[in-house]
Chain A
Amino acid sequence: GDSVTQMEGPVTLSEEAFLTINCTYTATGYPSLFWYVQYPGEGLQLLLKATKADDKGSNKGFEATYRKETTSFHLEKGSVQVSDSAVYFCALSGGGNNRKLIWGLGTSLAVNP
């Protein structure tokens, strides 16, 4: 079945460092891909998405490109801030009417000043 594999954390960076969180997927068909973020003590928020191959999702300085050839959707940010400290989840939307989300295990990011 469909699955998402996400790099394990925790990831600790200094402010203004470059961030990459790897995400690869296995899916039949053409899923939509998402990154969700969960800040401490809060619920999940959609960070960005891409719905077809070569699409680039971007938001708040974060970017991810839907790469069908490598089945990847890596999250990147050029210069992280302390406020980016959170848990990041990669997910794909499967087929069917309900479009269940298939989740990665989450990557915890801590950014130090």
Chain B
Amino acid sequence: GAVVSQHPSRVICKSGTSVKIECRSLDFQATTMFWYRQFPKKSLMLMATSNEGSKATYEQGVEKDKFLINHASLTLSTLTVTSAHPEDSSFYICSARVPGVSEQYFGPGTRLTVT
């Protein structure tokens, strides 16, 4: 149980374009999902916390107009990187928290490359 999927697993886009990443909880309803960014050989950086039906809470230093997060249902959250630049190239990971349980379950990640 507690499986989280992400799509796509890899994406290459051109500078200036937007790309959407989907995060789905497959076998449970996730009232809270989290979006992280992981730099090479570094720990995870929490970007935002996404609650179903409400606006995401962004961490300090994360541009909410650049990284649009939508949590439209209890099983789906999306991250849209708008007007992508090469410095946005990174590994983006989502996680979901099972209601009433403290741990988070992670998706496999999305490798974004902006050319």
Asked if A101 meets B32 with Cβ closer than 8 Å, knowing A43-B109, A44-B93, A89-B44, the reply is: no
Q: How many residues of B contact A (CB 8 A)?
A: 22
User: Residue on A with the closest CB to B49?
Assistant: A98
Residues of B whose CB lies within 8 Å of any CB of A are: 6, 32, 34, 41-44, 46, 49, 51, 57, 93, 95, 97, 102-109
Q: When the two chains form their complex, are residues A101 and B104 in contact, meaning their CB atoms are under 8 A apart?
A: yes
Q: How many A-B residue pairs have CB under 8 A?
A: 51
5 contacts between A and B (CB under 8 A): A43-B108, A43-B109, A49-B102, A103-B44, A108-B41
Q: How far is the CA of A39 from the CA of B97 in the complex (A)?
A: 21
Asked if A105 meets B51 with Cβ closer than 8 Å, knowing A32-B102, A45-B106, A49-B103, the reply is: no
Residues of A whose CB lies within 8 Å of any CB of B are: 32, 34, 36, 42-46, 49, 51, 89, 93, 97-101, 103-106, 108
What residues of chain B lie closer than 8 Å to A45, measured between beta carbons? 106
